[in-house]
Structure 1
Amino acid sequence: MFEVSTDLLFLLIAAAFAAGFVDSIAGGGGLITVPALMLAGLPPITALATNKVQGLFGAGMAAITYARAGHVNLKRQIGPAILSFVGALIGALLASSLPTDVIRLGLPILLIAIALFFAFKPGLSDVDRTQRITPVVFATTFVPFIGFYDGLLGPGTGAFFMLGFVGLAGYGILKATAHTKLLNFASNIGGLTGFILVAKPFWMLGLAMGAAQIAGAYVGSTLATRVGAKLIKPVLVIASTALALKLMADWF
């Protein structure tokens, strides 16, 4: 039976708050919570499953906050969210049978490329750009693909969704951020559903951290709504770079 001391519980809750704040702005909250859960003594698969429990609360809170501010219509995202859920569920169920280590090797390169894109691409702001593919094609191809990745591995899912909304759908930075959250919420549920079949998350710990995620996500999404691209871009660049460095460090 896994037990958490009071001091350790407060540290995990603090980590969840920080993750909710970062994740609501640019994604990458798992960079904070997964290592924290593993340092607390949880086995890797249990840490990933528990992380899905607490992470979905932050994504849900961020989605609601952005919707209330008028940056996203959640009803119009129900279809893509379902596809994100299905993709993540399939990814989680196949996680033990696919060569995830090979995929992991390329992740730092992709994340650094995303960081460089948002850091140096001229003209990126809260203003919408040219749409490269139709919403239907985007929803039926890109969304389930990233959802599948979230269920399979997970790190950088928010950044990948952001890249798609900005680079393919032509959304401005703030609008793109707002539109990633329900899809990320759905992929978290899909991934968690798959993990439940192969692992047992610590529900009480996940729910306690989830409450902190809600608070952190509310603060982060409210701040991002007010500041926009001036806040989101640097946080996204820092989070993507930090995650890439963390993944490279894990190799050694």
Structure 2
Amino acid sequence: MTFLQQIAIVCPLVFLASLVDSIAGGGGLISLPAYYLTGIPAHFCLGSNKFSSCTGTLFSTGRFLRSGNFHFRTAAVAAAAALGGSFLGARLTLFLDDRALRIAMLILLPAAAVFIFWRGRKKSDSSTFDQIPRRRAILLSAVIGLVIGAYDGFFGPGTGTFLILAFTTILGFDMKTACGNTKVVNLASNLAALATFIAAGTIQYNLAVPAAACSIAGHWIGSGLAIKKGAKFIRPVMVLVLILLFSKLVFDMFA
């Protein structure tokens, strides 16, 4: 496959993935297969995808921070815990089979989609976070970061979506603030992983840099839509991501 063909495959799909990821997480379900389609080695696919996605996430995180749609203390605690959780999850892959987790996800994902729709009908896009005592909020933030960070290190797909779901259901944030917090946690995790790929030299920069430009565009547009439209726009995209993840799990198990 020629370089121009690789660009023609990767760049549009990375833009689409970044648009989705900036709104509801789960962009890797689109962008990583795009790199695999080019035929470059798998470890270069992982490194190049992390480079482009991390670059885009930096811009969408900045946009959420400037808009004020985040809660610094809980986001910082969750981000720190997620780094530890990710390390723990990666270690668990050496000892455990992920099949049981995949089966559990096949049960949990439809339930999560139904819950999102139900919550959208029952509640408005408002925050109940202020009703939670500060110490409890910090503890819950650490638990969210640790558990979902471990999931990210062990399995990975849909991490951003689960963070948004956790920040809204457990801590009571509105969708926009939950998205902002999720961007902070994801950025911290992505930067740590990116440093590993850079050190290993497993990034194909001539492909990853143009893809990063598309990622920036997707994240910029998507984060703007999420900030402007709020829950009524974020919820349907979250359900779409859960459907994509469910489909991927079914395909991986039976293909």
TM-score surpassing 0.5? yes
**3-state DSSP class of the match of 1:170?**
coil
Identity %: 34
Alignment-mate amino acid for residue 137 of structure 1 = L
Partner of 1:77: 75
Distance of 1:89 and 1:194 partners within structure 2: 13
Deviations 1:86-127, CA, capped at 9 Å, x for gaps? 322443455344322332232232222221111122334320
Partner of 1:165: 167
Deviations 1:169-202, CA, capped at 9 Å, x for gaps? 0111122112111101112233445567888343
Q: Structure 2 vs 1, CA of residues 83 and 242 (structure 1 numbering), >3 Å: closer, same or farther? A: same
Deviations 1:142-174, CA, capped at 9 Å, x for gaps? 212211221222101011101110110011112
Q: Structure 2 vs 1, CA of residues 132 and 4 (structure 1 numbering), >3 Å: closer, same or farther? A: farther
Partner of 2:62: 64
Alignment-mate amino acid for residue 123 of structure 1 = K
Whether the aligned pair in 1 keeps the contact of 2:15 and 2:215 (CA below 8 Å) is yes
Whether the aligned pair in 2 keeps the contact of 1:150 and 1:188 (CA below 8 Å) is no
Partner of 2:108: 110
Whether the aligned pair in 2 keeps the contact of 1:88 and 1:190 (CA below 8 Å) is no
Whether the aligned pair in 1 keeps the contact of 2:55 and 2:215 (CA below 8 Å) is yes
Q: Structure 2 vs 1, CA of residues 202 and 83 (structure 1 numbering), >3 Å: closer, same or farther? A: farther
Distance of 1:110 and 1:197 partners within structure 2: 36
Distance of 1:249 and 1:138 partners within structure 2: 34
Distance of 1:35 and 1:52 partners within structure 2: 13
**3-state DSSP class of the match of 1:21?**
helix
Report how many residues are paired: 250
Distance of 1:90 and 1:211 partners within structure 2: 32
Deviations 1:21-63, CA, capped at 9 Å, x for gaps? 1001011101111111112214444433332222222222211
Corresponding residue to 2:32 among 23, 31, 34: 34
Partner of 1:225: 227
Alignment-mate amino acid for residue 229 of structure 2 = V
Moved more, 115-124 or 225-234: 115-124
Whether the aligned pair in 1 keeps the contact of 2:78 and 2:143 (CA below 8 Å) is no
Distance of 1:88 and 1:148 partners within structure 2: 4
**3-state DSSP class of the match of 2:157?**
coil
Structure 2's unaligned 5+ residue stretches are none
Partner of 2:124: 125
Distance of 1:194 and 1:144 partners within structure 2: 20
Moved more, 180-189 or 198-207: 198-207
Partner of 1:209: 211
TM-score by length of 1: 0.87
Whether the aligned pair in 2 keeps the contact of 1:83 and 1:140 (CA below 8 Å) is yes
Corresponding residue to 2:137 among 135, 138, 142: 135
Q: CA RMSD of the aligned region, Å?
A: 2.6
Whether the aligned pair in 1 keeps the contact of 2:78 and 2:141 (CA below 8 Å) is yes
Alignment-mate amino acid for residue 174 of structure 2 = G
Distance of 2:92 and 2:193 partners within structure 1: 11
Distance of 2:83 and 2:205 partners within structure 1: 20
Alignment-mate amino acid for residue 180 of structure 1 = T
Q: Structure 2 vs 1, CA of residues 151 and 209 (structure 1 numbering), >3 Å: closer, same or farther? A: farther
Whether the aligned pair in 2 keeps the contact of 1:27 and 1:157 (CA below 8 Å) is yes
Whether the aligned pair in 1 keeps the contact of 2:74 and 2:137 (CA below 8 Å) is no
Alignment-mate amino acid for residue 166 of structure 1 = T
Moved more, 126-135 or 77-86: 126-135
Partner of 2:182: 180
Alignment-mate amino acid for residue 232 of structure 1 = I
